Structure 1
Amino acid sequence: MATDNLRQLEALMNRLERKRAASQRPADISARTPKTLSTTLNAADKIERHLRADGHRIWGFVVYRCTYTSDTAWDLCIERIHASVRKSMDIYNGHDMLREGCFRLTVISDASTLDGASTQIVRRQFKEWCARMLHEEQGSQEEIQTRQQQASPWDRGWPVRYGFCIQIDEASMRSIISDEDEPWVNIIKGDWKPREVARQQQQQLTGSGWTMEIPGGRNEDEGEFTDDEGDREYPPVEGCTEEDVGWMKVRLVGLMTGLYTNLRDPDYWDVPYTRPPDIVPMY
């Protein structure tokens, strides 16, 4: 009897010791990857924090289908994108972030308006989609505010789902379904404007003393062009001769989740930016 009581006491002491040790773990240790990555490096942790900071419940890119040569090829393309996301989450032990109702790869498909569409057309449709769908997906403003939690400065930023979208044209689709080429997609910056348009709008807003608040804490005129940036012309890309044409080709590997989490920083776009037709080497 005494031996049994001793064993129970030892078991209790062991449990208490484990709880004490767990409570004293450094705050940056990730519960998903406690032996490999800290929570600051674990993309699944970061996305989870970003959702809480925004009061949102859904993450993931919106994809615009701009090629209609083969439904079979397209289905395989989307399947491989999903596989890429799952493979990325393997690293972070974050498959819980891919559950239904949390991760959504929204595909916009309309051959009548998107077959061979330019990035300008896609951007215009994306902005209309965001204005219509933000509250339909994430809930009313009251619901969003109820879900919001205190965020560290590192987790504040622009919700990527409503700031950037993916365009897949014939060339990028073929790169994804090919077993030889390195797959890539076009990523489009939703709030990009040609330099002259941005400059005029900034002058108008400055002159009126009024700025427009955008969900996520960014202003419409924040980070726009200034007169001292120069007007050097480059070979035209869809008619644009500026260095930044508002979109770039990015590799599928790391698109989600690495690039997705980094784009939350409104200043990050310039870090990996590579002018088309070149593909971003890394991000």
Structure 2
Amino acid sequence: METGPAKLEKFMASCEHGIWSFVIYRSAYGPYSDTDFSAFIQHLKELVAECDEINGKHPIFQKLTWTIFEDRNQLENLRHAQIKKMFDQWCCSGSAASGQPRSLHSIHHSTLARYQFCLHVNQDSLDSFNNAKSESPTLSFERTAFVNIVARRFPQDILEEYVDEEEYDDEEEVEDTYPALEGNTDADVGWCKTPLDSIYPSSYVDLCRNENWFHFYIWSEADMG
């Protein structure tokens, strides 16, 4: 069976991309948030190092680039929808394009996860990390510590690319099975919690195929409760 790193290597080669990783936005700036956020990022880096060892020092891990935005003046207390907008603006910027000088496509049209989904570290994320650390400092955080994944485009825009309308009866109604988030009762609001320990490379590789978002969204919310 092909491994996650091997799949990612193929995805990147198909686009001539030289770097990968989720872009990270920090919106939490409480009294202890600097220390908490540093520990949060360090934990992610340790997870990457562990995955690198497990996968026999696969060269793809040398191409992971940490892109972190934490300007308090711009980001403090922003909600997911605002992060989505900022991420979209970045993807359309020269700064994003400069990271992939050999890209075969415009970066803002890229289907790879780096330019379709970002991580949002808010106070809830930091609290979940601290709680997991205090409850089980030596064990996996998978079921308790989480980070928010925010989709750059509204889910219905992605859906239109993959759903064959002829497969559905025009009069048939599809029952919404997604949970509401932040008071939004749309079928899929475009962001969800996901276990911190599954981010790299598992979730990243899965989301390099945009249509996987719909399965991912259901699984993440059910898993995190």
The equivalent residue for 2:77 is 116
Change (3 A) 1:57 1:166: same
Residue 117 of structure 2 aligns with an amino acid whose one-letter code is F
Q: Offset of 1:279 from its aligned partner?
A: 5.5
Residue 161 of structure 2 aligns with an amino acid whose one-letter code is E
Q: Offset of 1:95 from its aligned partner?
A: 5.0
Residue 55 of structure 1 aligns with an amino acid whose one-letter code is E
TM-score by length of 2: 0.78
Q: Offset of 1:234 from its aligned partner?
A: 7.6
Change (3 A) 1:86 1:267: same
The equivalent residue for 2:149 is 187
Larger proportion of helix: 2
For 1:90 and 1:60, locate their aligned partners in 2 and report how far apart those are by CA, in whole Å.
18
The equivalent residue for 1:137 is 99
Q: Does 1:107 align with 2:68?
A: yes
The equivalent residue for 1:61 is 22
Change (3 A) 1:275 1:262: closer
8 Å Cα contact 1:56/1:138 also seen in 2: yes
Q: Offset of 1:232 from its aligned partner?
A: 5.3
Residue 135 of structure 1 aligns with an amino acid whose one-letter code is A
Q: Offset of 1:271 from its aligned partner?
A: 1.4
TM-score by length of 1: 0.63
Residue 175 of structure 1 aligns with an amino acid whose one-letter code is S
8 Å Cα contact 1:249/1:279 also seen in 2: no
Q: Alignment partner of 1:84: what SS? A: helix
8 Å Cα contact 2:52/2:58 also seen in 1: yes
The equivalent residue for 1:247 is 191
Q: Alignment partner of 1:250: what SS? A: strand
Q: Alignment partner of 1:280: what SS? A: helix
Q: Does 1:175 align with 2:128?
A: yes
For 1:55 and 1:272, locate their aligned partners in 2 and report how far apart those are by CA, in whole Å.
26
Q: Offset of 1:113 from its aligned partner?
A: 2.9
8 Å Cα contact 1:63/1:106 also seen in 2: yes
Change (3 A) 1:67 1:237: same
8 Å Cα contact 1:66/1:170 also seen in 2: yes
Deviations, residues 228-253 of structure 1 (Å, cap 9, x unaligned): 55575987533411231111110012
Change (3 A) 1:174 1:222: same
In the alignment of these two chains, the number of paired residues is 203
8 Å Cα contact 2:178/2:218 also seen in 1: no
Deviations, residues 130-180 of structure 1 (Å, cap 9, x unaligned): 1113321101xxx3349xxxxxxxxxx821100100011111112224412
Larger RCO of the pair (alpha carbons < 8 Å, separation 6+): 2
8 Å Cα contact 1:65/1:168 also seen in 2: yes
Deviations, residues 259-278 of structure 1 (Å, cap 9, x unaligned): 111112222112132388x4
- Cα root mean square deviation, aligned: 2.9
The equivalent residue for 1:91 is 54
The partner residue of 1:163 within 101, 110, 116 is 116
Residue 52 of structure 2 aligns with an amino acid whose one-letter code is M
Q: Alignment partner of 2:119: what SS? A: strand
Q: Offset of 1:192 from its aligned partner?
A: 1.3
For 1:238 and 1:158, locate their aligned partners in 2 and report how far apart those are by CA, in whole Å.
27
Change (3 A) 1:120 1:272: same
Return 5+ residue gaps in structure 2 as ranges: 136-140
For 1:232 and 1:270, locate their aligned partners in 2 and report how far apart those are by CA, in whole Å.
12
For 2:34 and 2:164, locate their aligned partners in 1 and report how far apart those are by CA, in whole Å.
41
For 1:275 and 1:111, locate their aligned partners in 2 and report how far apart those are by CA, in whole Å.
32
Q: Does 1:258 align with 2:217?
A: no
Return 5+ residue gaps in structure 1 as ranges: 1-37, 147-156, 199-218
The equivalent residue for 2:38 is 75
Deviations, residues 38-65 of structure 1 (Å, cap 9, x unaligned): 4x1x222222221111110010010110
Q: Does 1:280 align with 2:223?
A: yes
Change (3 A) 1:223 1:145: closer
Larger deviation, residues 163-172 vs 258-267: 258-267
